[in-house]
Structure 1
Amino acid sequence: MNLYPRSAVTVLVAALAVGCGAPPAAPPPRPAPSAPAAAGGHGGAPPPSAAKAPFTLVASGEVLASYPEVLDTAQDDAPDFAHHAGAPTGYDYRPMLKGIKPVIAEADLALCHLGTPLGPLTGPFTSSGAAQAPPQVATALKDAGFDSCATASGHTLDRGDAGVRTTLEALDTVGMRHTGSARDAAEGSRPALLRARGGAEVAHLSYALGDRRAAARGGKPWAVNLVDEQRIVADARAARRAGADLVVVSVEWGTEYGSVPDATQLALARALTAAQTDGRPDLDLLLGTGTRAPQAYERVNGVWVVYGLGDQITGAMKKWQGNWGTVARFRFAPPERPGERWQVTDAEYVPQLITHGRPLRSINLNRTKLWVKERAAIGKTVLSRGAAASGLKAGR
């Protein structure tokens, strides 16, 4: 669905490139993508006769790109030749993600969670009141290698219908799939369908928890998907009927800065992972954000749950743990017989943090000898519910 005339889209593409400096370098050749994965950065379709192959999926935490120090860093990193009414409009978020980009780019599918609406090129951009971030965030996420971004959050409707449109148009413009908010009912009824290299069809669904969001969306239930156990299970089953081999659910929930999952998280995780159709789980992976700080990974009813990924991009938070995060990495193998579930053969977490002060940078803590205490604290939290016994390991 294209809400801009062709000329406006051309201007937006050019402006996103200008705002981020030179356009991203062309990726290495990959197999031609199928129709569902045409917007992704990793998807590729095998010949029709080929068996579906194992693939690796990664997911990172919430992108909160409108904090003052984040905006300042993005302007510092951008070429200062894009102006509007005398003010610089150039923002480059790619250097912030450079430290974690290899983890994202090496995966077969990569999922992000956008926690701030993206606005027009001229702003205004702010994290106070109604949050709004520059659309160049989309360029950086695509450049890092992300294929699909969850967009259901507590800030989705901060800028109303216009904010939903500009956010999704920016993601569309750079070729990023999205799920969790929509411009109309038809768009809201479709999950993001992705095809991994090797042929697996993966459905990405996204929801946010909270009554305030329900009141804010008024008579447009498609504007942002809200957490409802029956709705999530029904959507997962519909995605499976539509051809999805795996269903991955992103959910914003939990208590901010909570190092352990709260009662609501635990109950919802148990309920969702217990849902089955013909003896097969309806969900294959549950990814949590919204807690700011990282939380435990756990295998529940045979399904991996990440209670809190932490944040991927953020400014200086009230507590230092708010600048910590993890990237989840799961290797899926196809079933031996048709109709059976795909199996996780390797499960890893990559600890990371966003530095304080300018310039803000994402740091892969397993590729540095610094931040020893932070790396240990993240590992202790991630493994606090017995994930090591289920096979979870620290990855690089």
Structure 2
Amino acid sequence: MIPYTRYAATALLAALAVGCGAPSAAPPSRPAPSAPAAAGGHAGAPPPSAAKSPFTLVASGDVLASYPSVLDTAKEDAPDVARRGVAPTGYDYRPMLKGIKPVIAGADLALCHLGTPLGPLTGPFTSSGAFQAPPQVATALKDAGFDSCATASGHTLDRGDAGVRSTLEALDTVGMRHTGSARDAAEGSRPALLRARGGAEIAHLSYALGEGWATARGDRPWAVNPVDEQRIIADARAARRAGADLVVVGVEWGTEYRTAPDATQLALARALTASETDGRPDIDLILGTGSRTPQAYEKVNGVWVVYGLGDQIAGAMKKPEGNWGTVARFRFAPPERSGERWQVTDAEYVPQLFTRDQPLRTLNLGRTKKWVKERAAIGKTVLSRGAAASGLKAGR
């Protein structure tokens, strides 16, 4: 394993195993590029029949897990806190995600976006300057039911190569796939290829806008994927050639706390959704993050675009909207003939809120009569570009 000795990797596995059963005697190897997700997730072997079945995909927004209030809650939620005479030894993010877990676990494939590098067990953990969160975040995401996490963000390189390695090692250790950053050129050249229940192969790609990355990446262009229209299209086409039935692109873009997509988002969305090969769109779904608040969903050139999912985990943000989020939920059905595009038969958004008071928790606003103003504001924003006419509905 690249960044750790065998002893350190085994220690990491043991630390991340909280709530996930007994740790193995040795750390798992890095997943093969086209392997299905590890046992315990949604993905699995294809059915005996060669026919592929419909499936439901969900996706949520930024996981920003190193804010002081978030760290405080994760410490208090750690199982050993309740044991008298035992010094706290870790962090537990699972209770924060309990409120939205049924939505994630109920899907056939679930995608997340990691906006904060994950560090070693010893830290330091901070959101001041260079971000870094505890590796136990990976345990919570896996426990909630996520299968793959996009890792390209404006903070990916906050801790340099070491931060990239520790982030991906933590995700590998719990059996989660990842895309958007890489430890070497070979890893950076391939997408996360996921197999949903029913046999569909989905390519998960991830990119982010970043200033000064050319200098930060230096001679390591694979370290993080920058937003580049031609690069994204080329990667999508390569994933299709590799066998992907659908190509899902995650993009960190947008203007913080702006509920309407900006000119850059609109232009890139039009260009990416217009790209076709043999009459078939190269990209089947675009998932946007980075705006800190939910933004509109819209069907562009026949392809669903989520301009902003909002935040999944965050501290008390500068504006209340920074603690709002959505989970996108799309039901895909296979084509009648091989080689044609899969179709979205149901499209939903699930409004959610991350509380600002301790203990911090994610609330599914689709399953409560409270938070009326917040739910209405999220719905107004999400539907602001005519998504309702295209069939988008509020979900639970």
Amino acid at match of 2:217: R
Q: Corresponding residue for 1:364?
A: 364
Q: How does 1:154-193 map to 2 (within 5 A)?
A: 154-193=154-193
Distance in 1 (CA, whole Å) between partners of 2:110 and 2:302 is 22
Tell me the number of residue pairs that the alignment of Structure 1 and Structure 2 aligns: 384
Q: Go from structure 1 to structure 2 and tell me whether the alpha carbon gap of 1:380 and 1:277 turns closer, same or farther (over 3 Å shift).
A: same
Q: What TM-score comes out, normalization by structure 2 length?
A: 0.94
* Distance in 2 separating the partners of 1:240 and 1:250: 16
Residue 337 of structure 1 pairs with residue 337 of structure 2: yes
**Structure 1: how far apart are the matches of 2:330 and 2:214?**
33
AA matched with 2:168: L
- In the alignment, the residues of structure 1 paired with residue 124 and residue 306 of structure 2 have an alpha-carbon distance, to the nearest angstrom, of 34
Q: Map 1:252-331; keep pairs closer than 5 Å.
A: 252-331=252-331
Residue 126 of structure 1 and its aligned partner are, at CA, apart by 0.3
Contact 2:33 2:192 in 1 (8 A): no
Rounded to whole Å, the distance in 1 between the matches of 2:49 and 2:375 is 45
Q: Which amino acid aligns with 1:64?
A: L
Contact 1:355 1:361 in 2 (8 A): yes
Aligned position for 2:29: none
Change (3 A) 1:233 1:34: closer
Is 1:221–2:218 an aligned residue pair? Answer: no
Q: Note if contact 1:34-1:45 (Cα within 8 Å) is conserved in structure 2.
A: no
In the TM superposition, 1:1-396 aligns within 5 A as 2-17=2-17, 20=18, 22-23=19-20, 36-39=35-38, 41-80=41-80, 88-396=88-396
TM-score, normalised on structure 1? 0.94
Inter-CA distance 125–243: structure 2 relative to 1 (3 Å threshold): same
Displacement of 1:46 after TM fit?
A: 2.5
Kept in 2, the 8 Å contact 1:89–1:122? The answer is no
* Cα deviation 1:264-295 (Å, max 9, x = unaligned): 00000000000000000000000000000100
> Structure 1: any 5+ residue segments left out of the alignment?
26-32
CA drift of 1:4 comes to 2.8
Deviation at 1:188, TM superposition (A): 0.2
Deviation, 1:218, is 1.6
Q: Residue deviations 1:36-77, cap 9 Å, x none? A: 213371011234533100000000000000000000000010
Deviations 1:93-128 (A, max 9, x none): 000000000000000000000000000001000001
SS at match of 1:80: helix
| Secondary structure of 1:143 counterpart | helix
CA distance in structure 1 between the partners assigned to 2:89 and 2:222 by the alignment: 32
1-structure distance, mates of 2:219, 2:6: 30
Shift of 1:24: 5.8
- Give the distance between the partners of 1:223 and 1:64, measured in 2 at CA: 20
Residue identity (%): 84
Alpha-carbon distance in structure 1 between the residues aligned to 2:2 and 2:321: 40
- Root-mean-square deviation (Å): 1.9
**Given residue 123 of structure 2, which amino acid in structure 1 is its aligned partner?**
G
Q: Per-residue displacement from partner, 1:339-386 (whole Å, max 9, x unpaired)?
A: 100000000000001001210000000111110000000000000000
Q: Would you say the 8 A contact 1:34–1:44 is kept in 2? A: no
Q: Partner letter of residue 99 of structure 2?
A: G
Deviations 1:300-340 (A, max 9, x none): 00000000000000000000000000000000000000110
Instruction: Give the Cα separation in 2 of the matches to 1:336 and 1:5.
Output: 50
- Partners of 2:223 and 2:34 lie apart in 1 by 25
Contact kept? 1:119, 1:135, Cα under 8 Å: yes
- Measured against aligned partners, the alpha-carbon deviations of 1:219-260 in whole angstroms (never above 9, x if no partner) come to 211000000000000000000000000000000000000010
* Displacement of 1:11: 1.3
Distance of aligned partners of 1:351 and 1:106 in 2 relative to their CA distance in 1, 3 Å threshold: same
- Partner amino acid, structure 1, of 2:36: A
1: CA distance, partners of 2:47 / 2:20: 31
Q: Aligned partners of 2:254 and 2:8: how far apart in 1?
A: 39
**Which amino acid is 1:326 matched to?**
T
**Alpha-carbon distance in structure 2 between the residues aligned to 1:281 and 1:214:** 30
